[in-house]
Chain A
């Protein structure tokens, strides 16, 4: 039922042949997607009222700063780059029925290794090979970090939700240790890694401040979508996700595929960290943890794990995130509010799917 059976939902959509049915189907999907978002905005609005903030003013400010101001929209598009990579990683894991909730740890370790390697590599290599190397290093480190939960799940059957969460706590601390002890820039008083010079970072798009990492993120999520829906490998992963026992009987090497899923998912999270550092931040400061990992989950579910739809919801999340940061400085509503909003979206979405499911059942009966 519900959110985790997304592939079947898209299959039925393709079967609908007559024009009217398709139109009704599109309308229905639009309602099922925008409905929960609007309902969540209303419910969260009451929370704002309760703490004495005018919700309309707050939402208006978020939209203005995240979407309608020239600087804001550029920041929003830039913020999308790491979020798209994270969403791509989650799509692989969720479609294969695995809960990689360790995105934040993988992200931070990727970010720190990218921040440590990039300034060194640009001194000895030409610009592009250097950046590519540092992307690869970040990816591999994140992959290695996911190996323990992957092996435990594949061979011991240990629940990956818990292990990935634990590894996130460990990874966050380890990233800090690396920044403070190993990769610390001796030239600064605040603990941070060496800064990648602006001219060595990923180029900006045209005359804007938007990072070209956005293109990488878009490419990543589209490739992931195509691999999951159009290739034999993707089909295998989806079978593992739909019914692991049937997958064993079908002769699939489930442990190997499990490890592959974790590696791909974590690798993409590591790349997310790298694209944020090499594209935007330039260094990692101690105790820096944007905690994008869990916030991306609702965007992926709203998109029904469809890569193209996920782009749209990641954009929305980006607007909320950039606008929310401005609102935190200006209106004094801390960023934590975005967490509340995101969680309400998840709950209302699950509820809406349930009601929809029940309604369809009673109509059939």
Chain B
């Protein structure tokens, strides 16, 4: 009796080792068969069968979306991993992709980083899943960011037309008008700081995203990308407009040297020492979760203009959900991406303060008339939608923007601590980016 059990166990062990080997082989087979069209029925079948989907995303509204999705498809388990953002997120993602291990099934990728991952074949083309048929649902800007030729590397989750968030309580207290141009912005910064030396117009310790967005709005087009041909040049009229203004803010110490998304930053936004925040329309959801104590203090306004009357706006951030090429359960992953960014998830996310990239919702009266209790009942979406319509065209990011952004503080950051001027900082950022581009095999000039 005993001997037979032992033999049985041994047999089982051998069998399970064989099974492991078989699944390992199965895993590698999946990669090559990625181009076959996947029908809606296949996806439905996968949803019925169930499984788990690991999602790397910091977008706060996805929590409710994941819960709803699991309610609708009880056999599917969504593991939302959301504590990382920014550099750390991309480092982890790039590591997982190059190690071919621990790659998530779904990953949030900001528009500026899309082409880098697409270029290195880190993301699945979602066209075989039918993603290209959803094109007409989205606004053109975000759709351009996720598609390249015939390939579609993700579904836009949100978009980031910029607005100027300002602490109305602070502005009212010192009877200062909300600036409509960047010159007025500098003026307001001086007045605020004079009235209370603890108050700064903004927190900025050097942020690549903000700088590129402001350059974009000022009419600068430093990056030109044509396949693997890239040119980088920060020496244009738009960039000069930006550096002239921002240099004043830095020189006169009118911006608080606080890095975004740190404890100090949240505290400053909450206690009125950071008076404005130029940011993307996805910001309200973060205000509501991160700066609860200042509810009712903040409002949104259109971005200040570089010349009076100019309506040109710009984008900041905005991201898509993508399906990494090495992820498992691609049908389920796609099903979740579609649910969150094109299906029922969109309504859930809007309810929690997200700013969609889908045209229908953007033009919907209910959306435009939505009152934000956090902004004292202001219909902030009207401002964001207006900004979205005025985003200046023809901007492009580098195909290695993620790397360029990682060395922003090494170069432009020096201007923030007085070691150099902004224009010189931009020049050394340009040089370092060109050097990297060449090393990576791009044709750069």
Question: Are both chains from one complex?
Answer: no
